[in-house]
Structures are given as structure tokens and as C-alpha cells.
Structure 1
Amino acid sequence: MIRKKSKGWTFIFSLLPGAGEMYMGFMKQGVSIMGLFFATIAVAATLNIGPLTIVLPIIWCYSFFNVHNMYSLSDEEFYALEDDYIFHLDRILPINQWSKQQNKIVAGILIIAGICIFWNECVDYLIGSWIYVWFSESIANSISQFLHTLPRLVIAVILICVGIRMIKGKKVQLDLEEEKKEEL
């Protein structure tokens, strides 16, 4: 049930992203924010992408100030608020409207992410023990460090290639639009 509640408890729950919204009865908003917050942590930790955590303070601040802004509304405005998800996956990822090429790209990204996770988890067991038999400790440590870094390097190269492709695609699109304007 959506209703204003204790100011003290609202503050305490607002310290955890999504919990304040849920405490006030906005379950869909709260679940969306909390899910986004913890999914960001999970992805950053699983794929060992530390820079992704820069998003966490933004999500936290949004949730904190959203709760306090909702609490400060007049009763009429507060009860007029509708509970809805922060984002809709069907709008963000219209999977039913994707072409086969887009499906292949997403599938490739998921496969590469899975391989990177598998690699990071299994590299010590599969390769780590025999490296120290064949190489000196300093060389073996360097090889081991490189093998742990390899998935991040692969992801970085893929991101750079996708970015370059997007820029080239946009340039081609702009060139075509310019040609159409010249023809008119």
C-alpha cells in the first residue's frame, strides 16, 4: 500500500537503494533500483570490471533523493504518484523486433562474456600448475598475470571495434542523408 510513513524509517531505508521506495509502497520502483544497483555490483565483480562501479554512487544518489523528494510532496501529489518500473526491458531491448544480425551480435557478446568468466575461474586450475614446472617463478608469475588479464583485454578490443563500427555506420548514414539533400 502506498502511503507516507515515518520520516525516521524513511531516512534509514533510503540509505539502501530501492529500499526507501519499497518502504513507502512503491515496490516496482524499489525493485528496479535495487536490482540495477546489485546487478551492477555482480557484473563488475564477475567480469572484473572495476570502472563499472562508478555507476553505483549515481544509482545510490538517485534513489536517496528520489525517496526524499517523494516524501516531501504534498499528500495530494504523493497519492497521485503511480508505481511503475524505472525501465522496461521491452522498450530498451525490443528483442522481438531484432534482425538475425542483431541476435547474432548479442549472442556473440554473451558467449564471449561467458568464455571470459570461465577463463578467469579456470585458468589457475587448467594452466597454473604446469607453468611453474616449466618456467622460473618470475616468468611464471608474468604468464599467470597475463592469462588473468586476457579476458579484460579481449572485452576492451571488442568494445573498441564496436565503437569504431558504430562511428563508421553513423558517418555512412550522415553521408547518405547529405547526398539526398543535395539531390533535392
Structure 2
Amino acid sequence: MKNSTVALTLSLFPGLGFIYSGKVIRGLFYLFATSVPIILSFLLAITSQDGAFLAFSVIGVFFYIISFIDMVIQNTKQKAIFVENEKGEKSQEAERFYTILLSFIPGLGHFQLGMMNRGLTLLASFLGLGIMIIFVTTLTGREEFLVFLAAIPAIWVYGFFDAVQQFNKKSRGETLIDRSIFEDFETRREDGKKSKSIATFLSIFPGVGHLYLGLQRRGIQLMAAFLFSIYILDILRLGIFLFLIPIIWFYSFFDGLQKASRYGKEELEDTPVISNFINHQKWVGIGLLLLGLYYLVGNIFIPALSPILMDIINIDLYYWFNRYFQTTIVCVLLIGGGIKLLMGSKKRV
């Protein structure tokens, strides 16, 4: 009899699970019923036929779900899954199967193993993060927040393999400790030290790894620079400066890796990225003042005066403002910065 766990894993690719189990005809049917509509939908997407693309995509996904459910039903019908051993307990094969099956939803596999706290942490993180991101995106109308959905597959993969690891511990006779993921991280620290692995993982988002290591000023500056750059470039539509965002991200990420590797070996100094920030407060204040004036003019004065000027002199002030004002600001800043650098180089000579 074929291994039900292997068959279920192979069924993630439609048809392979049935072919492995010896049901070749059914496997080939699901293989073609799923892959052909998906290939057609891809070809239709290239030709920009959106309606047909959506229809074939739905058909392919439908047969994929049906094939997976069919494999689950076939496995549950196997007598080996329900056979009990001499002590009246479920067989190890049955528990392995149900643990892996339930682990496709983070946390449920841990519930099967009796680890309620650990499973609840994963389930709440998985569902809570997804719901919160969708809620914020819907509330603000900003699709940029959907980029944080990339964390959901990471939680899913971690939860799946953690459930398998916990089952392997149980099968070896080890005692399972029901504690949350966060408690597990805390217990791995020695003498209250921070975890280098967690710091490295948190460094994926600029500044968070530094904050975890206690580098507050450096972390806040990196986080503010990253988020503020995205916000300003989006508001002012400065696509030419989008290269600054990956530069800030890579700098923050590798700086976080260096700080994490040096943690515990030497004392880390919370040196801000922009030193002597107090000496630059005047320029920061001027920048905030100009940004506030820009919003005041662009969102209040221009929309209010545009209809009046349109009736008087037949000029759409709102159109000219949106079309040329931002470009003019960028040009002035670039020219001013270039003149400043040229004057500075002459003084040094």
C-alpha cells in the first residue's frame, strides 16, 4: 500500500498523487483538466482577453481544488489510516497524515498534536495579519500596503514545517512543550541576550532589527528614511528617484546583519545614521514648513481658486499646477543642489 502522506504531498501538483497511488487514469484526468485551462488563461492574458482569461482561470482552480479534495477522501478511505494498534490508540501513520493535512492551515496541525498555545499563536498571526492588511488597504485605498502580504507565505511555511518537526519529536518519544512561538524564541536566549537569528530576520524591514538590538536612534532613522522616501516619492510623483528606496533598504539590511553578527562580541554603539541631528533641525523644520505649505496650496487654495479663474480668464489652474508645478520643484532642487556642490568644490580648491 502506498504511503498516504507522500500521495497527499504529491497531490499539491494535480494528478501526481493519483499516479503515485496507481490510479493513472484519474491522475491524468486531473492533470490535464487543471493544467490546460491554466495554460489557456495564460495565453489569453497575453492577448488581453480579460473575460476569457478569468473564466479559464476559475476552471483550472476549480479542478485543482477538486483533485486535492478527492485525494484527501481517497486517503481517508484507506483502512490503514483507521487501524488501531494493540493499545487501542490511533496508528502513527494516521496521526502523521492528519497532522500534515491540518497543517495546510497554520496552527491546526499543532491543535492535532495537543499544542493549543503554539497553534493559536500561528493561527492568529496568519489570519490576523492577512485581515489587518486587507482592512488597512481597503480603508485607505492604497494598494501599496498589499506588499506586506509577502509575510503570510513565510508564516505558512514556518507553521507547516514546525508542525512536522513537532510530530517527529513526538514520534521519537520526546515530551512536547506547549508554548507559543514568542516564548520559544525567548527561551533560546542565553543570559537575557538578544537572538541574532531574530535580529537578522527583523532586519528585512528597515530599522526593526536595529530596534530589537536596542539601537533606537539608528533604527528609527532608517525606518523613517525608508517610509518617508516612499511617501514623498509617491506624493510628488518623483519616479526618477525610486532608485533611492532599494539603496536605503540594502543599506539598512546589511547594516542590521553586521550589527547582529557583532552583538555579544563587542558593545554596540547606538550611532545615528545622520549624526549631529540637532544641528540640522533648522533645515528639517524648513522642509516640514514647505511640505505643509505645498499641501495647503495643492489641496485647498488651488481647488478653490481654479473654478473662479476658469470663469474669469479661462485658465485651468488646477491642471497647470498638477502638470508642471511638481516638475518645476524637482528641477529647482536639482539645479540648486548642483550649484551648491560647485560652489563648495571651488572653495576647497
TM range (shorter): 0.5 to 0.7
State whether residues 120 and 151 of structure 1, in contact with CA within 8 Å, keep that contact through their aligned partners in structure 2. no
More helix by share: 1
Partner letter of residue 5 of structure 1? S
Give 1:64's aligned residue. 253
2-structure distance, mates of 1:74, 1:116: 44
> What residue number does 2:195 align with?
5
Q: Does 1:145 align with 2:324?
A: no
- Percent identity over paired residues: 21
Structure 1 residues 166, 82: closer, same or farther in 2, change over 3 A?
Answer: closer
Which consecutive residues of structure 2, in runs of 5 or more, have no partner in the other structure? 1-191
Number of the residue aligned with 2:83: none
Q: Distance in 2 between matches of 1:169 and 1:70?
A: 37
**In the alignment, does 2:294 pair up with 1:116?**
yes
User: Which of 273, 276, 285 pairs up with 1:86?
Assistant: 273
Aligned counterpart, 1:43 = 232
Q: Is the 8 A contact 1:47 1:116 kept in 2?
A: no
Which fold has the larger relative contact order, with Cα–Cα distance below 8 Å and residues 6 or more apart in sequence? 1
d(CA) in 2 for partners of 1:146, 1:112: 20
Q: Does 1:126 align with 2:342?
A: no
TM-score by length of 2: 0.36
Tell me the distance in 1 between the aligned counterparts of 2:288 and 2:219: 27
Q: Which runs of 4+ in 1 moved over 6 A?
A: 132-135
State the Cα distance separating 1:14 from its structure 2 match. Answer: 1.4
2:330 maps to which residue?
A: 156
Who is 1:166 aligned against? 340
Distance 1:153 1:70, change over 3 A: closer
Cα distance in 2 for partners of 1:20, 1:167 equals: 34
Tell me the number of residue pairs that the alignment of Structure 1 and Structure 2 aligns: 156
Q: 1:40 to 1:92 in 2, by over 3 A?
A: farther
Contact 1:40-1:52 at 8 Å conserved across structures: no
Secondary structure class of the residue paired with 2:209: helix
User: Does 1:28 pair with 2:217?
Assistant: yes
Instruction: State the 1:19 CA deviation.
Output: 0.3
Per-residue deviation, residues 52-107 of structure 1 (Å, max 9, x unmatched): 33211111111111222222237323xx2212222124476385xxxxxxx9xx95
Deviation at 1:115, TM superposition (A): 4.1
CA RMSD of aligned residues (A): 3.8
Residue 23 (structure 1) shift: 1.3
The TM-score normalised by the length of structure 1 is: 0.61
Q: What residue in structure 2 maps to residue 52 of structure 1?
A: 241
Gaps of 5+ in 1: 96-102, 178-184
Contact 2:200 2:260 in 1 (8 A): no
Superposed CA offset, 1:20-76 (max 9, x none): 111122222211211221222333244443333321111111111122222223732
CA contact (8 A) 1:4 1:71 kept: no
With over 3 angstroms needed to count, the CA separation of the structure-2 counterparts of 1:69 and 1:42, relative to structure 1, is same
Cα pair 1:17 1:33 within 8 Å, conserved: yes
Alpha-carbon distance in 2 for matches of 1:131, 1:172: 48
